[in-house]
Amino acid sequence: MKALEALLILFGLWLLSAILLAFPTMWLWNWLMPKLFSLPQIDLYESMGINFLTNILFKSNVSIKRNGND
């Protein structure tokens, strides 16, 4: 039962962070894009989708291994 509660808490925190990161994207899009490029305004879910897509496209897959001697 504790494992289920922990998973629900983690999911809730993940969802909260996704929403908090989507708000600036939505506000900037709705402020700039309709005026500059005549694009429609977006809602919160579309801005979460844009954040998810940019995470996939621009995610760094490079891992730098550092020795303790440096």
Residue boundaries of the structural domains of the chain: 2-57
**Rounded Cα–Cα distance for residues 27 and 42 (Å):** 9
pTM for this model (two decimals) = 0.73
Res 67 pLDDT > 90: no
Instruction: Give the tens place of pLDDT for each residue, 6-65.
Output: 999 999 999 999 999 999 999 999 999 999 999 999 999 999 999 999 999 998 777 777
More confident residue, 70 or 21: 21
Q: How confident is the model at residue 69 (pLDDT cuts 50, 70, 90)?
A: low
The pLDDT value given to residue 60: 76
Q: Could you tell me which of 6, 45, 49, 47 has the C-alpha nearest to residue 24?
A: 47
